[in-house]
A and B are shown apart, each in its own frame.
Chain A
Amino acid sequence: GQNIDQPTEMTATEGAIVQINCTYQTSGFNGLFWYQQHAGEAPTFLSYNVLDGLEEKGRFSSFLSRSKGYSYLLLKELQMKDSASYLCALMDSNYQLIWGAGTKLIIKP
């Protein structure tokens, strides 16, 4: 079966850096996604990793280690608008997304 774990909630300060971790177990793997979801809105795509390593996209970076079943999303220069839930999702061998429960990120001034 598949399993995804990520912290329920994190708090960080405006202007700082925060790393949101995601660990998973799966038998089939076609990539690891990160989505951002603001309250009351649909998720928006942030990143996709299928090979090991770091993918950088502006203030956001995502890392994957397939051997360790581990990914993280790194957010730099935090802004108040970054307050949202961050969803880690695993794409299985059938190209379906298996979702983590999400990490609620609270940014404080």
Chain B
Amino acid sequence: GAVVSQHPSWVICKSGTSVKIECRSLDFQATTMFWYRQFPKQSLMLMATSNEGSKATYEQGVEKDKFLINHASLTLSTLTVTSAHPEDSSFYICSARVGGGRETQYFGPGTRLLVL
């Protein structure tokens, strides 16, 4: 199956700093990538949909100025958490859509963010 990587796998940062998370599709081109957030023992929550070469579409309640998404190429999307605060601590997971008759979303391994 298709492989999606995420980097870093975990990060600890001080409150007020910015953190960038990369999501790469390693063996396929992904025109659409998705960013999710998951708090402990809760469901996946879609944050935004990222389309290559265009602005991301954010879900209701997600601040686009706080969670900056860039999908500059068909294999890379980045999520930057700006001015992170302790309440932003969560498990951030990206997925990449494989379409063209074999519709599937493959997930990256996730990034654990802890803001102190």
Do the two shown chains form a genuine complex with each other? Answer: yes
Given A95-B32, A96-B49 in contact, is the A43-B44 Cβ separation under 8 Å? yes
For the complex, is A86 an interface residue (Cβ under 8 Å from B)? no
A102 touches B97 (CB 8 A): no
**A100 to B45 alpha-carbon distance, docked (Å):** 10
- Report Cα–Cα, A97/B94, bound state, in Å: 13
- Does chain B have a CB within 8 A of A101? yes
Give the contact stretch, choosing among B61-69, B81-89, B106-114. B106-114
Bound form: Cα–Cα A44–B106 in Å: 7
Size bracket of the B interface:
20 to 34
- Interface residues on chain A, size class: 20 to 34
Residues of B within 8 Å of A35, CB to CB, are 107
A92 to chain B, nearest CB (A): 11
Contact yes or no, B104 A45, CB < 8 A: yes
CA distance A100 to B91 in the complex (A): 18
Decide if B104 touches A33 in the complex (CB within 8 Å).
yes
Partner of A41, one of B32, B44, B106, B110: B110
Chain B's closest residue to A104 (CB) is: B41
| CB <8 Å contact, A33 and B93 | no
| A 63-97 contacts with B by CB, 8 A | 87, 91, 95-97
> A residues touching B (Cβ–Cβ < 8 Å)?
30-31, 33, 35, 40-45, 48, 50, 87, 91, 95-97, 99-102
Name B residues whose Cβ lies closer than 8 Å to a Cβ of A. 1, 32, 34, 43-44, 46, 49, 91, 93, 95, 97, 99, 103-110
**3 nearest interchain CB pairs?**
A42-B110, A42-B107, A42-B93
